[in-house]
Structure 1
C-alpha cells in the first residue's frame, strides 16, 4: 500500500515521465530508507567480501573488544546477533581497515576461517546500467500506451499493474546502481566469534589419521631392589597414532640396563598402552610447527617377566606426563615427554618411577 501511495503521489504531482522518474528516486531515498539500506548492503555490490571465524577462550573480553571495533570503525552494521557463547555480525568496513581487523582477530584467539574475495564491479555496473535502460524504456512504452490509447477497463487495469511492476523493478535497479557508487572503498564483512570451550565447531570434530611410528623409552625406578629390579629399564615400542587429537596405542618391551642372575629378577616389561595428549588453550593449541606444549596420559598395563619364568603377571599402569612436540608438520611428528610411571598393584613401590619417551611418527 505504501508503494502505491508513493506511486500515485508521483503521478499526480509530476505528469512528465522524466520528472516522475527523478521524483521517484528522491521519494524512495527518503521514504523507503530501510529498503535502500538493505539493498545497498547486498554483498554482490561490494568489490571486497570477507568471511572471518574466530574461536576464543575468553569470550566475554573478546566480544567486548570486537564490538568496540565494529562500533568505532564500521561504516554500516547490517546485522549483529549475540548468544551466551557466540557473536555474529555483518557490516561494512573501509578496505584500509581490513588489516586492523585481521590483527585484532589474531590477538583474540584462533582464526578458523579467514576468506577474502575481491573482484571488479565494472561489469556489474554496466549490467545494471543496461538493465536500467531496458526497464526505463519498457516503463515509458507502457506509460505511452496508457496515455495515447483507450484500452478497455480490464486491459487498462492490467497495464497499470504492469507499469507498477516495472516501476518497482526500475527503482530496485536504480538503488543498486546508487549503492555501487556509495560502496566504493568498502568491504562487506561476515564475522563469527564463538566460545571455543563451550561451542561445538568443525575443528572440534575427531579427525582420523594413519600415523605409525617408533618410540624410545627410558624408565628410571624410584626404589629399585637389588636382585629383584634394575635401577633403570629402556626399550622400544611401536606407536600408532590414529587421531590428530592425539590418540594412540603403543606396544613395546623394556629391558634392564643392569642384569642379575637372581631367579626373581625382573628381566622384561612387555607394555601395551592407550594414550591421549591434550594441548593447552593459551599456548597455540598445538598449531605451531615447533615446540608445542601438551599434557598426556597413558592407560594400559605390562606383563612382568622374571628370570625363572614363574609368576609372570599382567599389571595395569597409569602414566601422567608433560611433553613437547619438537617438530610438527602435515606429514611427520617428532615429540618427547616425561611422565610418572605408576603400576596399579600392591607392590607398585618397586616399579614406579620417571618415564622418558621420544617418538617419531609419519603419515602413512
Structure 2
C-alpha cells in the first residue's frame, strides 16, 4: 500500500511539473509575440509621410536651399530644407529694422522639405505656403532648430521679426500654436534653455525690455507662456547685451517654489536653486560650468562669479564658497509670502528703497532683499 501511494505521488508531481513547464513556455511565447507586435508597430511607423507630397532629391536641395539643418523627433533623425522655386535676390536699397542698406535679400514663396537623415529624397511640407511671400536677409539667420529634449522645434523669423515655430510630428512638419501671441522679437534670436524652455527678448516702446519664457507641450503641440519679466531702460539693455552674447546665456525666470524645507536645507549649507553647497571650491564650480556671465569684486570687496541663475561669493585666499544668492525673478514672490512660509524674521531692517529680512539657520543665515513694493529682489544664503 505504501508503494502504491509513493508511486501515485510521483505521478502527480510529474504531472504538475509538466503543467508548470507548459505554462512557462506559454508565457514565454506570449512575451515573444508581444515584442514582435511592438516591433512591427514601430516598423510600421513612417519617418516621413510621403503620400500626396511633392518630392525633390536631397543632393539637389543641398545646393539650392536657402537653409538646411538637422532635426530629431520620435526617435527619428531628419534633415530639413527651406527652399522657394520662385526665389529672387536683390540688394537692399534702404536701411530698415530688419536689414541694412546693401545687404542681399532673398524673397519667394518658401516651403519646407523633410527628409529622413541620409535619405536621397525630401518631401514638401505645406506649413509655409499659407504664409505667402517671405523675405530673408543674408546677414541674419532667420530659420534654425531649437533642441528641446529629444525633439526639435524649428524657428522661422519673418522680416518683421515675428517668430513662428514648427514641430515634426507623425512624419510631417506642423505649425506649433501659442496660448498667447508673441510680440516682435529683437533681432532674429530665440533661445532654447536647459532643453526644456524657449526664451524671447522684446523691446517695448524703444525703451523697456520684456524677457518671455515659453514651455512646450508635445501632446497638444502648444507653446505656452511660462514666465515673463519687464526690465526697464538701461538695466534691460544691459541684460540684452549679455543675453545675446552667447547661446548659453539667458534671463533668469520662474523655476523655484519656496517650501518649508528651505530652512532645514539652509542649516546644512545647501542653498535654494544651486547644485553646489556652501564650502565648494569655486574652481570646481567654474570647471563644471564654464558659462558664467562675469567674475570680479563686488562693492563690499568680496570676490564673486556670476551665472544667469546664481551668484557665488568666495574667500579670496582659499577659493571656498561662503555665500550664494539667487535673483528674485526665479521666485516671483513677496516678503509677505516669505513670512507666511518662514514666520517672523530674526532680523528686519530698511535697506536702500526696500527691506532686508534675515532668518537664522544654525551656522548659516538666509537674507531676503526686497524692492520698495516688497517684491523679493534677491535671496542669499551665507555662512556666519
TM category (shorter chain) comes to under 0.3
Higher helix share: 1
Report which structure shows greater RCO (CA 8 Å, sep ≥6).
1
TM-score (norm 2): 0.21
Larger Cα-atom Rg: 1
